[in-house]
Amino acid sequence: MEWIPCSGRSRRDTKNKKNSSSRKKNGVIVNQKPLDQTKPTSERLRDDYPFHVRGGSKNGGSGSITAQTFTFRELATATKHFRSECLLGEGGFGRVYKGYMESTNQVVAIKQLNRNGLQGNREFLVEVLMLSLLHHPNLVNLIGYCADGDQRLLVYEYMPLGSLEDHLLEISPGKKRLDWNTRMKIAAGAAKGLEHLHDKASPPVIYRDLKCSNILLGEGYHPKLSDFGLAKLGPVGDNTHVSTRVMGTYGYCAPEYAMTGQLTLKSDVYSFGVVLLEIITGRKAIDNSKATAEQNLVAWSAQSVTAQSGRLIRGFIDNVIPSRGCSVTDCAARPLFKDRNKFSDMADPMLQGQYPSRGLYQALAVAAMCVHEQPNMRPVIADVVTALTYLASQKYDPNAETGQRSRYPSASPPRTRRGGKNQ
């Protein structure tokens, strides 16, 4: 799905026809401040963004910018002068190419930013800063960048399996379907990456553009969050939110953010809930090819669930997700179980029935809490990590499920102790 503002207007409709030194913001053309080439990148970033990682980082978390700098000529050579045969894909801020760096004997992914796009110099520098300081197994690794003249390029580690979208929503002929165990592994890993942004960065980082196309997959379907062009530093002190222009991808934006422009960490949790629903159902967040009642994934899912929770989900929430100041009934409210017989209809047909019944119900419960209309009713991402780490640890064995699918399981999982390592 192409990047668009949450209001639904296409990015193609908002292309700036001015030169690359200006862009449109909130309907007004504003000049972009050119990069101060007299200052090192790390110094410019520290001047503008008082940002660090709590507890430091094993890979350059001290506050220094460790990413390499490349010349435009080096990156042009690496991509065979940006030939179409090297094109991996095109996102909201530019094109991504596969490249080979002879100097390091390394295959990389190179994102060439659209000079007339909506990501300006400041956003470019923020992305360099965040990916230079935020190191985690579930965040894509930034190798370096190029800021020659008006060229803006980012060099990432190459993720050989592409994006989650390629394996879930845009499956090419002959591509292997994702089984249940792999889906839960990917969901848990993506949640851990988001948890690092929320809980380790100071101020916390709000990702703001969580979607399947931004979850890249490495060997063994190891997930990593990528594309931080829309990332925003979160609220600090007594502030509950940051006010900003509404941007993101239609279908993933939290409703309160789309309506008010008030961005919180719970906005990311909502987006994660939409992604989790996509992982479970194999449906797109917005699919205009379907009947009107089924075009919006969250609305369609709500037709099969309601505010009343079943015994299994009460036990799951009580035992796996710690209480955060709200009752189980409140936290599990809308949407939750309405017709248990319909839950199997929500599972991706590509799974061909190969999934654990209890695991499906529990995963739907987590997704339901994440997409709650009220932000304060959504769980914090750390609790989502706890729940999904548990689900990912419960490996599905189709032989063990034989003859059990018609039974609604009542057993609750063992209580999980918080404080353990999630990475």
H or E stretch covering 80: none
Question: Residue 225's closest CA among 210, 211, 215, 235?
Answer: 215
* 95: β partners: 90, 112
227 is in an annotated binding site: yes
CA distances from 413 to 194, 220, 325 (A): 24, 27, 22
The whole-angstrom distance between residue 170's C-alpha and the CA centroid of its chain comes to 17
Q: Which of 199, 209, 330, 397 is catalytic?
A: 209
For residue 266, the SS3 value is: helix
The dihedral over CA atoms of 198, 204, 205, 207, expressed in degrees to the nearest 10, equals 40
* 142: β partners: 156
Q: Report which DSSP code applies to 296.
A: B
List the Cα angle 117/52/141 in 5-degree steps. 55
State the Cα–Cα distance between residues 88 and 84, nearest whole angstrom: 9
Q: Is 209 a catalytic residue?
A: yes
* 23: β partners: 30
State the Cα–Cα distance between residues 382 and 199, nearest whole angstrom: 8
State the Cα–Cα distance between residues 366 and 364, nearest whole angstrom: 5
Question: Residue 241's closest CA among 265, 258, 259?
Answer: 265
For residue 257, the SS3 value is: helix
214 is in an annotated binding site: yes
State the Cα–Cα distance between residues 149 and 37, nearest whole angstrom: 9
Contact of 45 with 64, CB cutoff 8 Å = no
Helix spans in 63-179 (H): 72-78, 121-133, 164-168
- List binding-site positions for ATP: 111
- List binding-site positions for Mg(2+): 214, 227
List, by residue number, the catalytic residues.
209
- List binding-site positions: 111, 214, 227
